[in-house]
Amino acid sequence: MTTTPEPRRIEYGAGPAQFAELHLPAGDPHGVVVVVHGGFWRAQYDLSLGTPLAVDLARRGWAAWNIEYRRVGSGPGGGGGVPETFDDVAAAVDALRGTDLDLSTVVAVGHSAGGHLAAWAASRTRDERWAGGVELTAVVSQAGVLDLRRAVREGVGGTAVPDLLGTDADPGAVDAAYDPQQQLPLDVPLWCVHGRDDDVVPINQSEEYVAAATAAGARAELVAVDGDHFVVIDPDGPAWAEVVGILDGLG
């Protein structure tokens, strides 16, 4: 097994949740993968969910940037929502400029709510609030929440989306900047890797996103895999092998 250096914690802000862990390979990286953990944007879930993936990516020759961000709720990881969660994800990606990494290939890989944030990060530089930031070159959404309006209608995550947006109503025009489905078409390719039996974030989130994206002229692909919501983040499983295969074609 390839030995990699110990991960390095790098703070991009003063808050307790404003940091990332940089996992480096033994040699020159193929590129950078921004790992965005899930947990329905809630404070009780943290970047430890992404650590096994970051470790595996570094062993495979990637620089893995496992980011933390403020989430909804109280405690050290809390204080998130609109716009804090999004400000943090943008700042975390942009903090890559403070490293000596080659940023010609920067791919975001995110699970569940992290898939939402990864897709959002690929469109955020269109908004003047986040313009001029590090540009992603591709996105892999793992069972991502890509349509916030549909998620509210179908009760995905219970009240997770309204809690994130700070509204009791369905996401409206003011929320379009935070909703990947309303930011189509992306300028970079996006893959949706999603379990067919996912009962946490239904696969229709990925199916409908890919259909709308391709109709809008974007490059998007659905990779349906056997299993539930969590098979895509098992570094020893075949669903993760699909993600690795996608990355191999990019790095």
Give the residue-averaged pLDDT of 202-230.
98
pLDDT over 70, % of the chain? 99
Give the residue-averaged pLDDT of 123-137.
96
Q: For position 102, what pLDDT does the model report?
A: 98
Task: Name, in order, each residue with C-beta under 8 angstroms of 202's C-beta and a sequence gap of 6 or more.
Answer: 154, 156
Q: The tokens of 199 are what? A: 């009962």
Residue 3 binned pLDDT confidence (cut-offs 50, 70, 90): confident
Residue 59 binned pLDDT confidence (cut-offs 50, 70, 90): very high
Q: By mean pLDDT, which of 51-65, 84-98, 162-176, 229-243 is the weakest?
A: 162-176
Is 68:117 a contact under the CB 8 Å cutoff?
no
Q: Is the pLDDT of residue 174 over 90?
A: no
Q: For position 1, what pLDDT does the model report?
A: 52
0.75 exceeded by the pTM?
yes
Task: Name, in order, each residue with C-beta under 8 angstroms of 199's C-beta and a sequence gap of 6 or more.
Answer: 228, 229
Q: Is the pLDDT of residue 4 over 60?
A: yes
Give the residue-averaged pLDDT of 123-128.
95
d(CA 165, CA 187): 25
d(CA 162, CA 205): 17
Is 179:119 a contact under the CB 8 Å cutoff?
no
Give the residue-averaged pLDDT of 126-152.
97
CB atoms inside a 10 Å sphere around CB 175: 20
One-letter amino acid of 25: P
Q: For position 7, what pLDDT does the model report?
A: 95
| Radius of gyration, CA atoms only, the chain | 16
Q: The tokens of 160 are what? A: 């997770």
d(CA 251, CA 102): 12
Q: For position 169, what pLDDT does the model report?
A: 64
Q: Where are the alpha helices (DSSP H) in the chain?
A: 51-59, 84-94, 113-123, 148-154, 160-165, 204-215, 238-248
